[in-house]
Structure 1
């Protein structure tokens, strides 16, 4: 395919920031910010960010069977993270004795740019008037898990439901980035008081070795995910690596579709799972799923069939790891990012893009606890890394690679504080690059796809944070984010942000 030179109505685009000195200054400033916040907080013990409500389904995926040979439980126990009001004034204790687990939490995320954005051009049709600013976004979430065996005797049967309310906005769009949110808790919640995320039933058989679930489900809560991801705030990794939901038909928290999955454990440390999820058009748009309570199938136009196999070894003196590989096939119609229905570049012919009903994706993900601090297996260093690949005919991101380190309890007196560093890299599909180049060369186009103001090629996001355990059920996490090539564009300045994430487990 032919690639065209980049032109913006004769204007020379600004060069991307390549100054390592500036980056070092931003990291130093963020380190000072983290240090000052840490010094202001007394020592405490307990909960970590792995245990937020949105991670409940993932925790059930990533927990191997107990070592005891006599393990015969019908419904695996529900999570009970440390909370501000651990007994719920007696309410949560009363409910749990009857098989009902109720959790309520709040997550808030703030981010503010400390670098100026790319200057807008008064006569340009492509650049918005970007600004240097800050934003705040968050959500409150509640979950209800019911053990129906304990409640009325239905052996092995349980139900799981989560509702959220989201608020605020995200700072990345202020400097032109639409690929990765600076605050992950933005969007998808419908801007309503109550948004239904998921509601499904699960049957557990053979002492936990077989699990069958169906209902309103989020595919990304069971596949290509990890409870470690939201130890970070930026949307390139928190929630799930962004390439996982590159298709608008992929259901990721807080969106759900009709679906089901079967998970089997042939051995203690090995699982295999297969799912079938509806491809529902508009699951992230208010007109279709504003409240999440739209249950009819009128907008279903295909399906997604994910498969995943995971190995969960424990090496040496309690060094757990999780290694998973999987893939997905998709029949929902996705437009080609380069060709029209006649096999020609639609940027030149102005015809409708070709549709594909045979999309696919694949992934490998891993995390490994490497060493313990002070001979405590609950503390230490964990590394995580992975690679996701999408069908480049229909994807925006052809692939994404990520890596990170989570160091928990480095300081002896603060066993549950967590230092985190993550880096993600996203490669934009070649068809997207070629289409945008042609459109920029063609004066008839006033707007590019994907909110682009230049050719999208590749992007990266770095995050450094320190999660401080403030009090029982309360976490405060100062952080720095650095966006390389915002929106995947070389004509936008790099952006550095300082902010914080807070999490309060109420019940």
Structure 2
């Protein structure tokens, strides 16, 4: 029996039909995306507040309240079953990603029989996090003009390799710690009102201070913790809340011109902000452990040269901490407390400051491509800090291979100077045979961390980054061998 071309068949589908069905399902999951855009590590979840700071306002906008565009990174499933578009049309933005970081030492650690050395070993580690972001434009959803809310939760896993060779200053994998070892940890949840066409933004809620201040979305093109997230010196006191930690906070940002901004805020200092005792899940809101306040101030200039192809960001800032802190050298009588064994002198307040710059130097064909230089310094109160200052410099070369327009070659170097008071205190303690602070097994003076990597755009929503890290003077100690590590960082944006 023969069938006409239009006759339906109720038997097993032909191979071509099965392929068509599979194609249809994949099409529903993926939506109908445009050709691949530049998916890079600086578009991961958590970078959204930094991107809002780093995005100049248009030259000609109205004075009406607005909600700035939400982050829409390239994803594996940009519009599953049409749901993403349906939600975004109604002001709801949902993102889901995973960042994984692996590092393994290719050099042996310092060996010894004294306390602190016996556990050092050559090894590898893996750390990472899965993250979810929910942004709601309440202007679209409920007619509240200019108002939006933002929330991020994470789950972190694994450990970091640097402690295997004695370094406690800079993690080999930044996605480690602060997550409470729970399935869901709240990073932040806050509301923001944006007025006068973006010229004034007021935010309050559970906020990560260092996601807005002393921040750049470029930092996490690297993996090591001296650089990624933020230059490590900015959280030297553990009183400045940085991702994935948050406190109650209030922040106001103004833009008198489309290339200049100024912002300030007030953030309660919560004792143990990075510890599990108080902030394992991030959902502890009662503020019973508030011990002071920090007030950051920052000003920035964001020029765009060469007809919009060479953006730059130049920022200066500082923060005052109201909580009393111990002097790192002297006791209450002005003598070295390591010798007198008296109580350290207390300072009523302390401070931190920063100067951070980045500038695209060369532009290639793709709008997001080019050679970008970034450099800066964080300088802390030398009487109360561990890290007196951290200086950094780096280069990001994106799209320099014409056939690989979304790949990025990166290299960065950070230099950490330990405060003189800490060094002198440790020298006194070592002469007495006493235990040293900061997990040190020798006197701490200065350290450097070098990272070179190559981010490969594997497919839409997937970045794989082989990398090399080198630790000069781990833990800022001269008695520990330098350490070299090989590893990789991967970022998968699902939605």
Q: Same fold (TM over 0.5)?
A: yes
**Residue by residue, what CA displacement relative to the aligned partner does 1:165-210 show, whole Å, maximum 9, x if unpaired?**
0000000000000000000000000000000000111011000000
| Counterpart residue number, 1:296 | 286
Output the CA distance in 2 between the equivalents of 1:263 and 1:70: 18
1:70 positional shift: 4.5
Preserved CA contact (<8 Å) 2:210 2:243: yes
Q: Does 1:365 align with 2:356?
A: yes
Query: Matches of residues 124-273 of structure 1 in structure 2 within 5 Å?
Result: 124-273=114-263
CA deviation after TM superposition for structure 1 residue 376, in Å: 3.6
* Unmatched segments (≥5 aa) in structure 2: 1-34
1:290-326 deviations in Å (ceiling 9; x for gaps): 0001111111111111000000001113210000001
What residue is the counterpart of 1:343 in the other structure?
A: 334
Corresponding position of 2:470: 482
Would you say the 8 A contact 1:190–1:291 is kept in 2? yes
Structure 1 stretch 451-460 or stretch 91-100: which is displaced more? 91-100
Of 436, 446, 451, which aligns to 1:463?
451
**SS of alignment partner, residue 387 of structure 1:** strand
Within-5 A mapping of 1:51-66: 51-66=43-58
In 2: Cα distance, 1:299 partner to 1:78 partner: 33
Gaps of 5+ in 1: 1-42
Whole-Å separation in 1 of the counterparts to 2:479 and 2:387: 19
Aligned-pair CA distance for 1:261: 0.7
8 Å contact kept, 1:301–1:333: no
2: CA distance, partners of 1:276 / 1:185? 27
Q: Is the 8 Å Cα contact of residues 301 and 332 (structure 1) preserved in structure 2?
A: yes
- 2:105 aligned residue (98, 113, 119): 113
User: Cα deviations across residues 466-499 of structure 1 (Å, max 9, x unaligned)?
Assistant: 0000011000000000000000000000000000
1:50 shift after superposition = 1.1
Compared with structure 1, are the counterparts of its residues 270 and 83 closer, same or farther at alpha carbon in structure 2 (3 Å cutoff)? same
Aligned residues: 460
Q: Indicate yes or no: 2:492 matched with 1:504.
A: yes
Deviations 1:9-63 (A, max 9, x none): xxxxxxxxxxxxxxxxxxxxxxxxxxxxxxxxxx975311110111011001110
- What is the aligned-residue RMSD (CA, Å)? 1.3
Aligned to 1:280: 270
For 2:412, which of 415, 422, 433 is the aligned residue? 422
Distance, in Å, in 2 between the alignment partners of 1:146 and 1:166 is 25
Task: Report the Cα offset of residue 93 of structure 1.
Answer: 1.8
Q: State the alpha-carbon separation in 1 of the partners of residues 493 and 448 from structure 2.
A: 31
Cα deviation for residue 149 of structure 1 reads 1.1
**Which range moves more in the overlay, 340-349 or 241-250?**
340-349
Structure showing greater radius of gyration is 2
DSSP 3-state at the match of 1:190: coil
Q: Which residue of 1 is the match for residue 378 of structure 2?
A: 388
Shift of 1:98: 1.2
CA distance in 1, matches of 2:71, 2:387: 35
3-state DSSP class of the match of 1:54? Answer: coil
- How much has 1:145 moved relative to structure 2? 0.6
TM-score, length basis structure 1 = 0.89
Alignment correspondent of 1:85: 77
CA deviation after TM superposition for structure 1 residue 69, in Å: 4.1
Mapping of 1:398-409 within 5 angstroms?
A: 398-409=388-399
Give the drift of 1:353. Answer: 2.2
Whole-Å separation in 2 of the counterparts to 1:333 and 1:89: 55
How far is the alpha carbon of 1:68 from its aligned partner? 3.3
| Secondary structure in structure 2 of the residue aligned to 1:378 | coil
The aligned residue for residue 346 of structure 2 is 355
How far 1:126 moved relative to its partner?
4.6
Partner Cα separation in structure 2 for residue 436 and residue 88 of structure 1: 58
Residue 47 of structure 1 aligns to a residue whose secondary structure is coil
* Structure with bigger RCO (C-alpha 8 Å, 6+ apart): 1
| 3-state SS of 1:424 partner | strand
1:345 and 1:88 mapped to 2: Cα distance?
Answer: 64
Separation in structure 2 between the aligned mates of residue 89 and residue 335 of structure 1, nearest angstrom: 58
Name the SS of the counterpart of 1:348 in structure 2.
helix
**Alpha-carbon distance in structure 2 between the residues aligned to 1:430 and 1:88:** 56
